[in-house]
Chain A
Amino acid sequence: MPIIKQKDYKTWKKFDRKRDLQNWLCWFLGTLIFSFCFGLISSKTIWFYVFDSHNEALDLLGRMFPPETNYFFMLIKPIWDTLNIATIGTTIGTLIAIPLAFLSANNTTPSKKFLRPLALFCIVSSRSINSVIWALLLVAVVGPGVLAGIIAIGLRSIGFCGKLLYEAIEEIDENQIEAIEATGANKAQIMTFGIVPQILPAFTSISIYRWDINIREATVVGLVGAGGIGIELDAQIGDLAWAKVSVILLAIVVAVVFSEWITAKIRKAII
């Protein structure tokens, strides 16, 4: 932080000249990249529609209000389905994630050369495919319905839970394992008494966190036919029944806020 001498007084500046130039260059490059990318997007945009969008939005809002409140009672079953997709999906996902996490953690993996990369590959590919794409694939295999949603959410959760869990396993305290080993415990006993108690808090908080995310994801897997409230949303948008769509959107917001509230409660109760 240099002090710069002007003609007759001193003044303070945050950065010296070199750093200032560097910052300026970063901003310049950033702006350049941004305008280049935006230019490419704008060349593919029909600006008339964009400038007209506020009229369209007002029109849409006019159609959405007042919401058809009676329709809410028709939504109870889809909301229940959505909750089930999220809950059962999370359960399945975490259950599969546990062995994968043990296989891919550096300190517990049985073979570093073969099984670990394989398990890591499973985790990464599950993470990089969005649950909607999983659902799209599964609807073709098991048919439209709740089951496809459950499996899609489960498959997507494996990667997330597996990654966080194996990082937790890699950070455990080795001394405790040595202590268990010193009592003459076998491998399985070391696992249950040495490792599991150490990662249990991480495991619970990861699964609760994932459940919260899965409630959101479960609202959209229905858009491709995999059950839950998304099916209803897709159908009503297709029917252009906007007064019903607004009820569905409200129901989604309520479900999400509710799940956030519950997870906050559980987290407080456990920790």
Chain B
Amino acid sequence: MNYKKVIWKRKPLIKNRLLRIGLILLISAYLLSVFLTTEIDWQRILEGIPRGKNFIFAFFPPDFITRSDEILAGIFESLWMTIVATIVGILISIPVSLGAAKNIAPKFVYFLSRGVITLSRSFQEVILAIFFVKLMGFGPFAGMVTLSLSTIGFFAKLLSEDIEDINKSQAEAIKSTGSSWFQWVNYGVQPQVMPRFIGLSLYRLDINFRESAVIGIVGGGGIGSTLNTAFDRYEFETAAAVLIVIISIVMIVEYTSSHLRKLIK
């Protein structure tokens, strides 16, 4: 019996053969150049393995008790910072997001607001925190200002996208009643973006708490300061306790905020 065996093969991901081979070559060239230009000190890594082991073992058992006052104070400071920063950030973001919506703002305001958003998004919280700590002194106030400013980039960007997607006829209906601009925003735009607004606020609250843990490392107050102090004192058991506390609070905040967001939807 003679028959031709027919085999089915999955189609390749990229149809153009030249493009496919080109991409593979490009990626391997990139990886090679990364490998050649990165200095990795294998000696140091080999040395680091036992050191790392000691380091990790130094975290056990986590010590919640010795510095419990400082840990508690740090957490509460982080919480206040988070709440105030989220509220202030959102209050500032509202005008910015109105300005950054193409269908509402004139060209000039649009580009200005987009510029503010891009600027606020380009710098990580930590970099901003370094500058604000330098300008305003150590402590939670600098951290709060940092978090509020970085809230703007996140919040205004996502909210303005939602404002651009609103149902035009509803907004027009309000306008046709002879409303002023503020009435138009209040009755025509705001009700349409409200679900997203609440969802984003809860989400940002969650992010701000997480970031407050890092800002403390550069002097912005909160639980991060406690963590940094623990590291500086080589009290790794306390540091482990702080990390565990951060993880569990983040988990709680995340579950509640995602649950609330689902409820609102």
Contacts and interface: CB of A to CB of B under 8 A. Distances in A.
Contacts of B39: 145-146
Contacts, number: 146
Contact of A216 (B44, B52, B122): B122
A158 interface: no
B227 A80 contact: no
B127 A45 contact: no
Contact of A41 (B49, B51, B81, B243): B81
Interface string B115-130: 0001101111011001
Interface string A75-87: 0010011001001
Contacts of B99: none
B218 A223 contact: yes
A142 B52 contact: yes
A130 B247 contact: no
Interface residues of A, number: 55
A46 B227 CA distance: 22
Contacts of B213: 130, 133
Contacts of A33: 83
A124 B247 contact: yes
Interface in B176-231: 187, 210-211, 213-214, 217-218, 221, 227, 231
B231 to A, nearest CB: 7
Judged by DSSP, the binding face of A is helix
Interface residues of B, number: 59
A202 interface: no
B135 A56 contact: yes
B122 A41 contact: no
B136 interface: yes
Given A60-B134, A84-B38, A129 B243 contact: yes
Contacts of A81: 37-38
B258 to A, nearest CB: 11
Contacts of A37: 79-80, 83-84
- Nearest 9 pairs between A and B by C-beta? A141-B52, A49-B137, A128-B250, A37-B80, A45-B141, A143-B44, A256-B122, A53-B135, A220-B124
Given A136-B231, A252-B123, 18 more contacts: A34-B83, A37-B84, A41-B80, A44-B141, A45-B136, A45-B137, A50-B141, A56-B135, A57-B135, A60-B135, A84-B37, A129-B243, A136-B217, A145-B39, A147-B45, A193-B10, A252-B122, A257-B122
Interface of A: 14, 30, 33-34, 37-38, 40-42, 44-46, 49-50, 53, 56-57, 60, 77, 80-81, 84, 87-88, 124-125, 127-130, 132-133, 136-137, 140-143, 145-147, 193, 216-217, 219-220, 223-224, 233, 237, 249, 252-253, 256-257
